[in-house]
Structure formats: C-alpha cells, structure tokens
Structure 1
Amino acid sequence: MRIGLLETGEPPESLIPAYGRYGGMFQRLLGPGHDYATFDVQAGVLPKTLGACDAYIVTGSSAGVYDDLPWIEPLKGFLASARDQVPLVGVCFGHQVMAEAFGGSAVKSDKGWGIGLQSYSVSKPAAWMDDAAHVSAPGSHQDQVVALAPGGQVLAGSDFTPFGVLAYGDKAISMQFHPEFDPAYATALIESRRGARFSEEQADAAVASLAAPNDSRRIAGWIDGFLTGAAKATKA
C-alpha cells in the first residue's frame, strides 16, 4: 500500500536531529510493509489527485484549525473531496482538521493542555479494533473537537477528551492522541516547553506518566488493519 503522509507541522528544530519529522515517526509506527510519500502541506503541497496514494494520514501540527494560514483551507477542501473515496487517518491536528472539513468543529479548549500519557475508554469498538476496553498513548494538545460532524461516530474518549477516537463511515478515522510519539520524544517535547506552555508541576506529572506502559503498538495495529481493510474495500 502506498500511504501519503500529509505533514501539517514539524517538531521543534532542536529535536529533529534526534527524533526526525512527523512523517518519519509514522513510518516507524507502521513499519516497512508499506510505501510512503510525504507531502509538505505547510508549504502548500497536496497530492495532485486522490489516486496519487492508496490512503492518507494527516499529521499533528502546532497550528490550530482556526488559524489564518494559507494552507489550511486547501487541506480542508482536499479532505472533504477525499471522504468516502480513499482511506483517511487523522492524528491530533489531523483529527481536528478532519472534523472541521467534514462539518464538525474544533476549538482551543478551556480545559487547557492535555500532555503526557492519555487514556481513552473504548465505547464502540470497530471491526478493525481488538477487544481492548482502554487504550493509552502519548498526547500533546490544547485544541479539541467539540462538535461531531454529520455521519461521525465516537469510538473512544475520556472525560477530558470526549471525542478521542472518531470514525466517519468505513473510510475515515481520526484520533486525538499520538501513537506515533515515542515516549522519549514526548518527554523531550514537554521539556522543550517546560516553564513556557506548561508549569513545572504540569511538566513533572506529564513526564512521570510517560514511564507507564502505552498501547502505541496496539494502536498501530488498529491503524494498519483499518487502512488495509478500507483500501481493499475501495478497490473492490
């Protein structure tokens, strides 16, 4: 399968030499069993046709869906046209921009930052999921989906993030946490923002939480299972 990685952001420059960019993180998460093409969405680069790849993943970003940036509306247009046509996966910003593109809403939450290990309860397991009742993965977000798009379903979430994992029919899913973040990178990201975006207490608690086991490998299997099944259905 050829997976298009729609990069909508990048790590802090100081962390790139050690951890790479977001597209590379997804390649490590999903492994070498696929071909990958990376598109620098921030630079205005989108696939010329939906058929350029078999499926697309929208990465995280430090931008908000409400920001006045020239690349956000074209991305929303691409995603709206891709819905129900090719498999789509959105993560963090990708989760939020898919909701907006499909008719939902995402805002800067008055709950504040969600950082460290984030845990969701599974309320509606899909066919590509296993029987896990709870899943945990690193998270880093201040924005949240607050209104579900027409046709959307909530599969998992928490009191802090009710719209944690969403599905739109059988060809689009999204999630707020970051299964592609290695705990070492998630820790380094928090440390780079300590005392600026987060208080010392918030940073300490978030870093400590990342020492616990996470379900990133399980979620990688979910994503792979979803993409494989959705791609087969598209070609059928």
Structure 2
Amino acid sequence: MPQLPLRIAVLECGAPLPKTASKYGGYGGVFKALLNSAADTLSHPVLSSSSDLAITSFDVENAQVYPSLEDIDAILITGSKFNAFDNDPWIVKLVEFVQVILKQRRVRIIGVCFGHQIVGRAMGVKVYRSEEGWEASVTAMDLTKRGQEIFGKSALALHQMHRDIVYEYPEGVEALAYTEKCAVQGMYVSKRFITVQGHPEFNEEIVREILDTRHTLGIFDAATYQEMLARVDKYQDGVVVAQAFLRFLLEE
C-alpha cells in the first residue's frame, strides 16, 4: 500500500479567470478542493480523510518549476487555454518531463483535459484540433467496460471545455470513455496513469465564468453560448471521477 499522506504535485498549466482565482487561487486550489472532497466521501479503509493528502502546486507555464520525483507520489497535469500540440518552450519541457515519469515505475500521473492531451502527446499519438468543434459544459459520456469498473458507474456526466482531442489510444492503454465528438475521453494504465478529457474539477460557477468570458470575446457565438449555458447547471460526476483518481493512486 502506498504510504500516506499521498504527495500529489499539481502542475498548473495556466491560471483561472479572476472570479475563480479569487476563490481558489490557482488551479492547484481548485483541484485541492475537489480531491479533499473526494477523500472525505470515499469511505476507503486506508485513506480516511483529506488529511491524508499532501497537495502542492507548481507553475509550469510561467515559472517552469517542477517537483523532484523523490518528493512526490504523483503529478496531476491541469487543463489550459493553450494547445497541447504547440511547441512553446514550456509545453515542450512539460512533455519531456512526462516522458521521464513514464520511463520510471513509482510516480504516477493524472491528466485532465490539456493534461490528458499532454500524456497522449508524450506517448507519441496525434493530438490536434477536433473536426467536431467545441465540446463544452456538462456532457454525457459513455463508458467502456473498463471505464465502468474504474468509475463504478454505467455512464458519466462531466463538464467539458475543449476543441482539441487525442485522436487515438497509445499502444497498451485501456480506453475508459467516449462521446460522439471525442472518441478518446479517458486513458488508463494500471499503476501508471489515468487521464480524462473532461473537467472533474469544474463546477457551475467556474464554467459560467468561462462561458461568459469566451462569449464576450467572440469565441462562442450566441447560439452556441446559449446551448452550453442550458446545460451548465446539470448534474455532473466530478467527485466520482476524483474518487477514481484516489483509488488509482492507492492501487498496490
């Protein structure tokens, strides 16, 4: 059994919008709130409470600071407004860091949205703009048989906020979930990594701010904005997915 507390390094691949930042700080704070909630509701025989999590944050976009592997048990790569397929120096550095972790056996990886795509890129598969356009707000997802086992449900709903996708599953990776617009919604290798294209850390408040901002900027036209807004308050399984993240970290 992995030793407690679980030492999770959140690699922040950007900054949240002002309202979210004022409440949570960076994306590390958003994920800390989610993971603490998941730990407190997991009813796991070992992970008894959020006090068993040691969550630290690293700004890998601007400061380009990374944890030492001996000081952590896992990294969690956040979402981002940037493209995982671009070659900005900080993105290339992040891909290379993930490749280093993939070559060892102890430190595990959680990838969310941009982070999910970075893992795909680090493993050599195509990551690029989707021909299907944006997938955003609360979205129903179909689960594979393995996905149903991992998440403990027959289907999931998660907030989405992306127009880039991982185009195929890397060799040896188990498929977890899919939607009409995105066939690669979740990737899994036991004791190595788990990723999701959706945003378990997002809630209605966070997504409303993103939708409003992107509508104002002209990224979402009026019809698209209204359609996304109509689903923003629907039920979503963020905590369920975060519980699966913690079970994954506790796998022996």
Judge same fold: TM > 0.5, yes or no: yes
Deviation, structure 1 residue 131? 3.3
1:202 corresponds to 2:207: no
Q: Deviations over 1:170-206 (max 9, x none)?
A: 3101000000011111111101111511011111111
Tell me how far apart the structure 1 counterparts of residues 230 and 140 of structure 2 sit (CA, whole Å): 14
Equivalent of residue 74 in structure 2, options 50, 55, 68: 55
2:34 aligns with: 29
Is the contact between residue 19 and residue 185 of structure 1 (CA under 8 Å) also seen in structure 2?
no
Per the normalisation by structure 2, the TM-score is 0.85
Tell me how far apart the structure 2 counterparts of residues 56 and 105 of structure 1 sit (CA, whole Å): 22
Tell me how far apart the structure 2 counterparts of residues 8 and 30 of structure 1 sit (CA, whole Å): 18
Tell me how far apart the structure 2 counterparts of residues 206 and 152 of structure 1 sit (CA, whole Å): 31
2:236 aligns with: 214
Is the contact between residue 128 and residue 225 of structure 1 (CA under 8 Å) also seen in structure 2?
no
Q: Which moved more, 1:86-95 or 1:60-69?
A: 60-69
* Partner secondary structure for residue 198 of structure 1: coil
Q: Deviations over 1:124-152 (max 9, x none)?
A: 32597243111011110011001222222
Q: How many positions carry a matched residue from both structures?
A: 229
1:46 aligns with: 66
Q: Identical aligned pairs, as a percentage?
A: 28
Is the contact between residue 75 and residue 108 of structure 2 (CA under 8 Å) also seen in structure 1?
yes
1:76 aligns with: 95
* Partner secondary structure for residue 38 of structure 1: strand
1:66 corresponds to 2:85: yes
Is the contact between residue 173 and residue 187 of structure 2 (CA under 8 Å) also seen in structure 1?
yes
Q: Deviations over 1:82-122 (max 9, x none)?
A: 12521110000000000000121210112111111122111
Deviation, structure 1 residue 18? 3.7
Tell me how far apart the structure 2 counterparts of residues 70 and 50 of structure 1 sit (CA, whole Å): 21
Is the contact between residue 41 and residue 71 of structure 1 (CA under 8 Å) also seen in structure 2?
yes
Tell me how far apart the structure 2 counterparts of residues 144 and 182 of structure 1 sit (CA, whole Å): 22
Is the contact between residue 186 and residue 197 of structure 2 (CA under 8 Å) also seen in structure 1?
yes
Tell me how far apart the structure 2 counterparts of residues 143 and 127 of structure 1 sit (CA, whole Å): 25
2:39 aligns with: none
* Partner secondary structure for residue 55 of structure 2: strand
* Partner secondary structure for residue 88 of structure 1: strand
* Partner secondary structure for residue 145 of structure 2: coil
Tell me how far apart the structure 2 counterparts of residues 208 and 153 of structure 1 sit (CA, whole Å): 33
2:46 aligns with: none
Tell me how far apart the structure 2 counterparts of residues 130 and 93 of structure 1 sit (CA, whole Å): 21
Is the contact between residue 89 and residue 174 of structure 1 (CA under 8 Å) also seen in structure 2?
yes
Whichever residue aligns with residue 30 of structure 1, its letter is L
Whichever residue aligns with residue 108 of structure 1, its letter is R
